[in-house]
Structure 1
């Protein structure tokens, strides 16, 4: 290929937009999937293509399914298809009518725009008449008998946003009618209608809003599988080959590694390939393959999209004055804020809009808006759609993919700003409505200040406000009136004071007229001084807000690079201005990231380790020194250990010794005071060292692995290959090694190889055993970590790193994995291969990572001359001995000032937050299984294995007895209004009582012991769980409303979410299930190491708390990511009413933890770096 030819090669990659049907020759990596789509569509006439954002749903339908339909690949069907493709957007019925009225669908191929518009209106009317509207439209179109109609509803999840956000009063009814029209059309047999929807999988739970939709989706669902590494390779190499070019294998490998497990892997890969192709085409020499230099020139996958979008943004201002350029860029900001949204659940959402609406809401002219859109929809950008069509008033404008929101940093900031601003406005709208209803006065004080500050910062106008409220003029007028009322009051006070002063002075004798005039002049001067001082303070306030906002913007730009620096910048902003917007931004950074404390070194850090008591850390550096550190970051001892650098370090399991391995080929055993005990010699530099679990043997790795006793006697040589990493199995019976021959092997202690792990395309650089000795983790030079079982079968791949994985580790409980890489990042994973955290802050290669023995901290070493200590868990605030036996139930008082515990020692006790005993409830004759505060916090309820429940005063005086169960009372609860009590028993029954102990009725029975009872927040329903493996929701009349089935063992715990829309259950099978109120499973947390004895929702419903009987408690988000872990032999858990603390009960003690550590306390705790660098290493 010569240079001339390369200039005419067409870019085969679409960028962020989906592949179209005419591009199926470029659509690779999905072989066989279209066949499955055809099969489901043929059988059900309804196909739901479901997957995560960025999984390729739209492309699979457009470039996979549609070409196969046109080719007659669906058995029993023709090749004649009329296809209408649209998105629900802001008016689903109208958008469907517009799609059906396109030439070649239900109207003639050749038709004027005026006639087409008339047909669109007619079709819209027909669709809205009845559920058979679509069938009637097809009948009226009078198509030939052998033609089928396919309706493709792309981005179907927009229907939920339409219901939630639309300002149309009939939005819900329209949405119901829209869904009903679709489902009815596939149920009839007279007309050949087929329906395909694409939808993000995180909206599956929302489908229950529409009758019969969940059933249709269940029948026709196709969940897009995650692309394998080989499929991604095809998606890279296939289009390039079709395009007539070549790509270097090294670049293919790097692309595969860089994409990793990014949720936006497909769109960002397509975009990066599009940009790489363009760079190669513009700069490549004749016959040269696309290479890494072309890829790196565009910023790689991590930066390409954001840099490219920034380039388009900069282009908007080119050729204009600075002032005009800024004005045009402000139009871009307004436009993208209109086209994007972040939902209440933080899901990124595209908001398509008519061109005419964009003109209205931005305040720009039609020409200005079109000129902006034309730049962002250029083929080399493809950030806006449609790509080529002439722009008219009714043209629908849309961003090309949600990944743009997540990947373009500038847009991400805009979206967050818009989300925050809209929340404030909606709160204002709510207050304005209460004011109109005479339920709220005008705004005043701090509340008014906050809204006025919002108005100054965001400058809302009516056009913007109409997006969120139909009564927006009332909202803004309410704010104006409140401000005016304050000013009038201030002026009134000044006026009254002035009049009083004049009146008093007029009563003075005329001889004091001069003094009166002088006093009045002084008063006026003071007034002017006060006014001037107020204006000065206002100016200073505005200046501080501007300065704080600048620091926040700097902090937000640092989050991806170094969250610790970002948090300190946010702290600085909060010190400048304590405005809600600043504080919210600081808390957001704090909630969503993990932070570090730095241990500075004079050279590269090659190895790190924790002591078994968690009180000390050990690091080895290229400067030849091994350092023992206290856990607070203070150096305890420096040991000049090796010439040429310390490559490996280890603490002895009993804490008596440390081990170092050096570049000089020596391994040295040291006492903790730094005195040398023994030398062990290899002929080449040492790569790894380890103590056996019992501390009696030492394993060293170099040109071979060698087993020694503590006195330096060689016991065994293991293998013959150069060792890169090694580990003892936790049971001490086997040894795991990794070698530069691309293999990992398991050996017995006599040097016999038991198992080999092969198949890696690159060198294995690090290995680790799981705590149960039954799994193995390997990290490779290709950036992929692999989890294996002990038989050598691959369990999972951990994709995410873009360079060599230098170190791997298991958490002590075996539920999490840690990887450190030469890409400068550390990643924390669960056993299913999901990334929990990315630890960011190192600025050079990671050499070593380690968990603390309690799993609460991570230590990392890097070539950037630092080791960093990261904290993963909540802080223990207080612990006190509470009972003489197991604590089986704990609770907070509603006001959060007291704690309640119930124990197997037959007592319940009331405590202050400082651990002082306030009262004791004695009277039960067997263990207490359940306790509860009344909603007003004035009474206590206990349920016992003695078959009774008691009602108590807070001082321990028994008020009432609830007797009648024929087995132990497992659980008790108050109704939300405090007038009734519910109890569940080992006799399988659920009973309802009044507060006088009078039995009202039996609600129902399970087939085994009832373990939990709870009222719904509105008091109209009752939740029960049972050892019969079933949970149920009952009406107060005893009717079963919902049954939850899915656990494989007894259910021990259950709870309603605070808004009553979800249910959480925990089982003896080690799993926790999150359900919607209709009984559909939304999420499973299946990694608990035993019986889940207690579950809880945080008061805001955003977090889940679980306790494993006799083990740890864990805090989760609603996506199943574990946020924190609280160690101990925990049985019971509870959130404080404000969600800031967590209460746990264990064998005989109570623990109080921070649920969300107070930000100020955290910043002052010494657990995070200050905003400065070490002078020697700046």
Structure 2
């Protein structure tokens, strides 16, 4: 086992980093000089001494430090980054032993040994992947599609499988893949966070072309089925290569609850499993053990119980204490939120609304962003506070940070936490305007402040009206404010030029008339 896999504390991270530096024969000051960043050697010294950890926005700097210390292999760099994230999201007292449950977070490939209850469905899907073609894996939000693909299918297929999410630039994400089997998780991002319809069409066409020579699997949320039908390549897959992920049967859900505990050596009190199964059982359903969409709530309740019991024994009292299936998620989120001061509560609201995609014609969905994008609208002095708020929700598995990607751990949080649901409901129209403005400002900045990307006309008028009336929680950030100011200046300049042209034309007409 790699040394990084054994790191669980900040001190162990610093010790391992120091051993790496010493083996490379460089001092802390030499490392600081070689990375060439505007950072004090004392700050790096804190990293090596275990007194501090790199912040989320320092990811790229940490990678450079690792390279200076001799870590150049991408797989090794990723192992170090995984250790860093593991330590960052594990503050305070934690249960001893392995984590048997994932909470709202999906099972990843490295968690395959803890993934129970989907063996039959995994085998059914893998059996369909013997010939090139495009297959769709469709299910409701909360059905466990991501876990099935990442912890079930990928390990079964072996090293030839590459799994990725489309993100805002799906063509670039596709170009980075090298697998013989392409697995596109959260395919609905093509319709939510990819803003360019032409790129969306090219991406779907590229998957169709890849499917002529390789196996391509796309995991799609069921409520985006209609949008997927507009693309011929996806429509063909619906007709010939579709697998539906439905609710688990009772024996499957029982295995998902009992087997991870058994593997971790954790005792389950008699009656707890039966209580849990009764509370999630749908009325009148034939053979199904739970309502669609409740699986992440079950998973989070189990994770919260494991945390509460310190990993020793799961009891009915623990189940009641964490709020049961119905309240465990909300109670966890509310506990973190209420522990924040007023200013940081505002940052939390802004953070969550940033991580939700809100549109006028579809249900709200989570969106993945980089650390830099999440912090882009924060002044430097506030960014550190925003990172601390982020870390607190990450520690409860409510937000997931995977290398440089940040997202709400599961869409279930959008409805299970009443406070967040209230934020989203209170000003949906305003959120759409604010989201469009933030995305337009980000594109403008990325394109070198291209004047052609600025707002004009009614779009500018609506955005200005929203910005003037937005409360402190929803107010546009610095980048959006700069974008609005530049848009106003350009519109005023164009209007002034038009007025000058009109005056010249009038003078010319007068001269000709004379």
Query: Is residue 174 from structure 1 mapped to residue 196 from structure 2 by the alignment?
Result: no
- Which residue of the partner structure matches residue 275 of structure 2? 254
Do the aligned residues in 1 keep the contact of 2:301 with 2:324 (CA within 8 Å)? yes
Residue 367 of structure 2: aligned partner: 351
Residue aligning to 1:90? 168
User: Contact (CA 8 Å) 1:44, 1:220: kept in 2 or not?
Assistant: no
Where in structure 2 are the equivalents of 1:17-416 lying within 5 Å? 17-70=105-158, 80-81=159-160, 83-97=161-175, 99-100=176-177, 106=178, 149-162=180-193, 166=195, 171-188=196-213, 193-261=214-282, 262-281=291-310, 289-315=313-339, 317=340, 325-345=341-361, 347-363=363-379, 365-378=382-395, 381-386=396-401, 389=403, 395-416=404-425
- Classify the secondary structure of the residue corresponding to 1:233: helix
- Does the 8 A contact of 1:89 with 1:162 survive in 2? yes
Q: Which has the larger radius of gyration?
A: 1
Q: Where in structure 2 are the equivalents of 1:737-776 lying within 5 Å?
A: none
Task: Tell me the TM-score normalised to structure 2 length.
Answer: 0.65
Output the CA distance in 2 between the equivalents of 1:421 and 1:271.
Answer: 31
Structure 2: how far apart are the matches of 1:384 and 1:419? 22
The answer on whether the counterparts of 2:467 and 2:475 sit within 8 Å (CA) in structure 1 is no
Q: Is the 8 A contact 2:358 2:431 kept in 1?
A: no
Structure 2 Cα separation of the partners of residues 280 and 10 of structure 1? 14
Question: Cα distance 1:240–1:472, how it changes in 2: closer, same or farther (>3 A)?
Answer: farther
Distance across 1 between alignment mates of 2:485 and 2:435:
10
CA shift digits 1:386-443 (9 cap, x unpaired)? 25x4xxxxx22111110111112222222224523135669999xx955599xxxx99
- Output the CA distance in 2 between the equivalents of 1:346 and 1:37: 29
Shift in CA distance, 198/33, structure 1 to aligned 2, threshold 3 Å = same
Cα offset, 1:314, TM superposition: 3.6
Aligned pairs for 1:936-955 within 5 A: none
Match of 2:377, SS?
helix
User: For residues 844-883 of structure 1, what are the structure 2 equivalents within 5 Å?
Assistant: none
How do 1:819-834 and structure 2 match up within 5 A? none
Higher relative contact order (CA 8 A, sep 6+): 2
Distance in 1 between residues matched to 2:405 and 2:180, nearest whole Å? 23
Deviation at 1:155, TM superposition (A): 0.6
Q: Secondary structure at the match of 2:397?
A: coil
1:1048-1067 correspondence to structure 2 within 5 Å: none
* Distance across 2 between alignment mates of 1:253 and 1:436: 56
In 1, the alpha carbon distance for the partners of 2:317 and 2:221 equals 35
Which whole-Å deviations, capped at 9, do the CAs of 1:75-109 have from their partners, x for residues lacking one?
xxxxx51x332211211122334x53xxxxx4xxx
What secondary structure does 1:377 align onto? helix
Q: Kindly tell me: are residues 241 and 474 of structure 1, through their superposed partners in 2, closer, same or farther at Cα, counting changes over 3 Å?
A: same
Once residues 20 and 413 of structure 1 are traced to their aligned partners in structure 2, the CA distance between those partners, rounded to angstroms, is 31
Secondary structure of residue in 1 paired with 2:211:
helix
Q: In structure 2, what is the Cα distance between the partners aligned to 1:213 and 1:396?
A: 27
Q: Deviations along 1:16-36, whole A, 9 cap, x unmatched?
A: 111122322222222311121
Please give the per-residue CA displacement for 1:86-138, whole angstroms capped at 9, x wherever unaligned: 211211122334x53xxxxx4xxxxxxxxxxxxxxxxxxxxxxxxxxxxxxxx
Please state how far the C-alpha of 1:477 moved relative to its aligned partner.
10
Tell me how large the CA RMSD over aligned residues is: 3.4
What's 1:645 paired with?
A: none
Aligned residue-pair number: 373
Separation of aligned partners in 1, 2:415 and 2:489 = 32
State whether residues 341 and 419 of structure 1, in contact with CA within 8 Å, keep that contact through their aligned partners in structure 2. Answer: no
TM-score relative to the length of structure 1: 0.30
Higher helix share: 2
CA offset digits 1:325-382 (Å, max 9, x no partner): 322222221111110133324513111111111121234544333323222222xx11
Deviations 1:190-229, CA, capped at 9 Å, x for gaps:
xxx3222111011111113323221023322110122122
User: Which residue number corresponds to residue 916 of structure 1?
Assistant: none
**Contact 1:11–1:278, Cα closer than 8 Å, also in 2:** no
Q: In the TM superposition, what whole-angstrom CA distance separates every residue of 1:1025-1083 from its partner, at most 9, and x where no partner exists?
A: xxxxxxxxxxxxxxxxxxxxxxxxxxxxxxxxxxxxxxxxxxxxxxxxxxxxxxxxxxx
Q: 1:209 to 1:19 in 2, by over 3 A?
A: same
Q: Distance in 2 between matches of 1:233 and 1:271?
A: 15
Secondary structure at the counterpart of residue 85 of structure 1: strand
Q: Deviations over 1:1128-1176 (max 9, x none)?
A: xxxxxxxxxxxxxxxxxxxxxxxxxxxxxxxxxxxxxxxxxxxxxxxxx
Kept in 1, the 8 Å contact 2:349–2:473? The answer is: no
1:1049 matched residue in structure 2: none
Instruction: State how far apart, in whole Å, the 2-side matches of 1:198 and 1:463 are.
Output: 36
Going from structure 1 to structure 2, the CA distance change for 1:247 and 1:356 (only over 3 Å counts) comes to same
Q: 1:234 to 1:476 in 2, by over 3 A?
A: farther
Distance 1:203 1:399 in 2: 19
Distance 1:367 1:471, change over 3 A: closer
Deviations 1:496-518 (A, max 9, x none): xxxxxxxxxxxxxxxxxxxxxxx
CA distance change for structure 1 residues 455 and 343 in 2, over 3 Å: closer, same or farther? closer
Which runs of 5 or more residues in structure 1 are unaligned?
A: 1-5, 71-79, 101-105, 107-147, 318-324, 390-394, 480-1178
**Kindly tell me: are residues 16 and 245 of structure 1, through their superposed partners in 2, closer, same or farther at Cα, counting changes over 3 Å?**
same
User: 1:174 and 1:256 mapped to 2: Cα distance?
Assistant: 44
CA contact (8 A) 2:136 2:220 kept: yes
Cα 1:59/1:40, change in 2 over 3 Å: same
Q: Does the CA contact (< 8 Å) of 1:152 and 1:197 recur in 2? A: yes
State the 1:180 CA deviation.
Answer: 1.3
